[in-house]
Amino acid sequence: MSGGVVDSFKRVAVIALATVALLLSPGDAFAAKSGGRVAGSGFRAGAAARSSMKASVRSSMKSSAQRQIGLSPFGVRPFFYGPLLTDVVVIGGVAYAGAMAYNMFENARQGRTSGINIAKVQVAVCCDNRGPNSLLGTVARLARDCDSRSQRSMASLVSDVSLALLRREVDWVSAAVETKTVKDITEGENIFSQMSFTERAKVERETFNLVAGKDKSEARSSETKLEDIGKSTMAVITMVVAMEGKKLPEIRDSKSLKEALMSLGTEALNEDSLVAAELLWVPEEPWESLTADDVILEYPNLLSL
């Protein structure tokens, strides 16, 4: 039997198990009690850092151009002589117009936007185990290893979690992508915060909560039964990101989710792209489990795959 057929059978089995769980326990649904979260230094801090980096690059390019188009008193144009004003105006204008035209063409060709894209990517999965190599185990490890004070580390976290989800396609149950494009920093920050708070309100305790290098985790509850530790569960992985560049595609099926995760994973590593990011997941406590009913009630926006 081919690998594709096997994966199809596994996906059908996962959805069937989730449906049975929903039908057998319609009255026992409850919100997730524990959740995990990793957040960076904030929307404005990320935007300020990127603006500073862009200004530095522009200054460096301008200095290099001035050295190369200088005039000497002898009529020769070696390096390191100051430029004539007319030279700067003409050459700079032509270069700027060319760069703008090229950027507009490339942005249109690649589906890029001129503003900041605020996106919330959510994937519900069925985890048949909770070991260190499971999806929840992988997410927890990546969260622990992340330096949330570093923009580059947060970018790597988003990329690595996207990759982990892509590798567990057979476990996907439902998903959604919500994207809003803004040009105003304040509006973008408000939308980003709203998306984050909406997800955080769905849990009773953030038992793993790392924010800009500070541990704000709440105490875990004590497990009631030893056999509850590590048992199978439904889980929801959420990434809230603010990025310049390519807008993530809408989710219609597994193929479009794969495209969205691949785009997110690659765009996040672009130093000119990521502004801010948060990772959230439920459940976090190893003895807590969620049913399909819980996921449907708390995440009605997710599209079944």
* 19-37 per-position pLDDT tens digit: 444 444 443 445 578 999 9
Q: What's residue 32's pLDDT?
A: 72
* 173-210 per-position pLDDT tens digit: 999 999 999 998 899 999 999 999 999 999 999 999 99
Percent of the chain's residues with pLDDT above 90: 56
Helices within the chain (DSSP H only) = 3-24, 43-68, 85-110, 135-145, 151-167, 185-200, 254-267, 292-298
Q: Does the pLDDT value for residue 41 go beyond 90?
A: no
Q: Does the pLDDT value for residue 101 go beyond 70?
A: no
Percent of the chain's residues with pLDDT above 70: 65
Q: Does the pLDDT value for residue 94 go beyond 60?
A: no
Range with the largest mean pLDDT of 77-81, 85-89, 140-144, 242-246: 140-144
- The pLDDT confidence band at residue 59, using thresholds 50, 70 and 90, is very low
- Name the nearest CA neighbour of 152 among 272, 35, 284, 253: 272
Q: What's residue 107's pLDDT?
A: 45
How many angstroms separate the CA atoms of 192 and 241, rounded?
8
Q: What's residue 263's pLDDT?
A: 96
Q: Residue 249: helix, strand or coil by DSSP? A: coil
Q: What's residue 55's pLDDT?
A: 45
**Residue pair 267/273 in contact by the 8 Å Cβ criterion:** yes
Q: What's residue 1's pLDDT?
A: 53
Q: What is the mean pLDDT of residues 150-174?
A: 96
Q: Does the pLDDT value for residue 102 go beyond 50?
A: no
* 198-256 per-position pLDDT tens digit: 999 999 999 999 999 999 999 988 766 666 777 899 999 999 999 998 899 999 999 99
**Residue pair 238/121 in contact by the 8 Å Cβ criterion:** yes
How many angstroms separate the CA atoms of 133 and 151, rounded?
26
- Name the nearest CA neighbour of 108 among 100, 97, 120: 100
How many angstroms separate the CA atoms of 191 and 179, rounded?
10
Q: Residue 160: helix, strand or coil by DSSP? A: helix
- Name the nearest CA neighbour of 258 among 142, 159, 158, 163: 163
Residue 51 CA to chain centroid, in angstroms? 20
Q: Residue 31: helix, strand or coil by DSSP? A: coil
Summary mean pLDDT of the chain:
78
